[in-house]
Amino acid sequence: MPSVTIRDVAKEAGVSTATVSYVLNDSRRVGGETRERVRQAALRLGYRANITARNLQASETRLIGYSWRPTPTEQFNPIVDKFLQSIAEAAARHDYRILAFPSMDVHQELSAYEEMMLIGQVDGFILTNTNFDDERVLALVSNHFPFVSFGRANQDWDFLWIDVDGAAGVLEATRHLVSQGHLRIAFLAWPEKSQTGHYRLQGYLNGMEEAGLAVDTEWIQLAGNFYEESYAATQRLLALPLEHRPSAVIASSDLMALGVLNAAWNGGLEVGRDMAVIGFDDAPIARYMRPALTSLAQPVDKIGDQLVSTLIDELNGQPIGERQVLMQPTLVVRASSATPYSDRS
């Protein structure tokens, strides 16, 4: 199939080739309506103006695009740091580089993807933090642009992804707490739109059902991935009547677990004895908390390496062994949940 040229785009948009060049290279001011018409025509035709090919007569940029949501200054997100390091190191081993850029929301990220696809700034993308029917996945699939995702989106969409089995991980955490004698177990869940949060919540519900334990609706507290929200959610749990108050809490992340730990201590409970706490991520700080935090470890290094290798195989037309890979987290038991519990209510 012959490649689409700048002349094809000009004809489709009803403008001159010079105007198309001005828009794609952002080299001269062009009216907003005309600019959008050119961009849409280029997208419809699948036009790719590769910067490296234009300037260096090469056929690829050897750049992989990756966008992330900036972490608020008062918080930490060591998993993002570890993930970025893992994909950068993996890319370098294949003589590729990561072109990382922040996006405040999905619309800003989509706009950046569109621009990069039009001017051929990268060979492919790595996506993270996907949600149900993710717009970014749909846009890249529709444009037949190479990408791989850390996370699922829609079971009917055929695209390359690797994910952590959050449901299996939280199920294991729930089983651990039941084996320690806990019968009233709470869960700090992410908002309903979060696909990752959905799977983790499902693991908790499966574990409680497996153990034959009823779930009090007040034991499931919705909170964002923020310290303050998890602290407040734990305060609500501690305000419940003693006979209904949970003796253990599973949090959807280690950052949230930190809020649980501090709220429990400030509420007069000894964490590890009066209340057990489990997080998710096994961030480096987990072992240094007091008490050390039991957490579900994600194989971030392995995930980053496999994402990059899979994408590069796709770019090079190599066969892909598994197009969808579900990796298992590992429960790392520490002092926050290691002591058997006897009900003192």
* Cα distances (angstroms) measured from residue 80 to each of 98, 128, 135: 14, 10, 21
Examine the domain organization and report whether 129 and 195 are in the same domain: no
Q: What is the pLDDT of residue 27?
A: 60
Report if residue 336 sits inside a domain: no
Examine the domain organization and report whether 66 and 121 are in the same domain: yes
pLDDT band at 53 (very low <50, low <70, confident <90, very high): very low
Examine the domain organization and report whether 250 and 205 are in the same domain: yes
Determine the Cα–Cα distance for residues 287 and 276; give it in Å rounded to an integer.
15
Query: What pLDDT, in 10s, does the model give residues 90-126?
Result: 999 999 999 999 999 999 999 899 888 887 889 999 9
337 by DSSP, 3-state: which? coil
In the predicted model, is pLDDT for residue 50 greater than 80? no
Examine the domain organization and report whether 76 and 61 are in the same domain: yes
Query: What pLDDT, in 10s, does the model give residues 261-317?
Result: 999 999 999 999 999 999 999 999 999 999 999 999 999 999 999 999 999 999 988
Report if residue 41 sits inside a domain: yes
Domain range for 26 is 1-47
Whether the Cβ atoms of residue 296 and residue 169 lie closer than 8 Å to each other? yes
Examine the domain organization and report whether 176 and 200 are in the same domain: yes
Examine the domain organization and report whether 69 and 37 are in the same domain: no
Q: What is the pLDDT of residue 26?
A: 66
Query: What pLDDT, in 10s, does the model give residues 14-47?
Result: 988 778 877 877 666 788 888 888 888 888 887 7
Q: What is the pLDDT of residue 157?
A: 92
Report if residue 28 sits inside a domain: yes
pLDDT above 70 covers a percentage of the chain that reads 94
Determine the Cα–Cα distance for residues 195 and 181; give it in Å rounded to an integer.
30
Q: What is the pLDDT of residue 56?
A: 40
Q: What is the pLDDT of residue 121?
A: 87
Q: How many CB atoms lie within 10 A of CB 325?
A: 14
Query: What pLDDT, in 10s, does the model give residues 208-252?
Result: 999 999 999 999 999 999 999 999 999 999 999 999 999 999 999
- Would the pTM count as exceeding 0.85? no
Examine the domain organization and report whether 314 and 264 are in the same domain: no
Examine the domain organization and report whether 182 and 284 are in the same domain: yes
Q: Which of 264, 178, 186 is nearest to 218 (CA)?
A: 186
In the predicted model, is pLDDT for residue 52 greater than 60? no
Examine the domain organization and report whether 171 and 294 are in the same domain: yes
Report if residue 337 sits inside a domain: no
Q: What is the pLDDT of residue 59?
A: 54
Q: What single DSSP character describes residue 313?
A: H
Query: What pLDDT, in 10s, does the model give residues 322-334?
Result: 999 999 999 999 9
Q: Which of 149, 173, 180 is nearest to 162 (CA)?
A: 149
CATH number of the domain where residue 283 is located: 3.40.50.2300
Examine the domain organization and report whether 126 and 241 are in the same domain: no
Which whole number is the average pLDDT over 52-67?
67
Q: Are strands 276-281 and 294-297 parallel, antiparallel or unpaired?
A: parallel
Examine the domain organization and report whether 159 and 125 are in the same domain: yes
Report if residue 334 sits inside a domain: no
Examine the domain organization and report whether 184 and 279 are in the same domain: yes
Determine the Cα–Cα distance for residues 148 and 124; give it in Å rounded to an integer.
8
Cβ contacts of 105 within 8 Å, gap of 6 or more: none
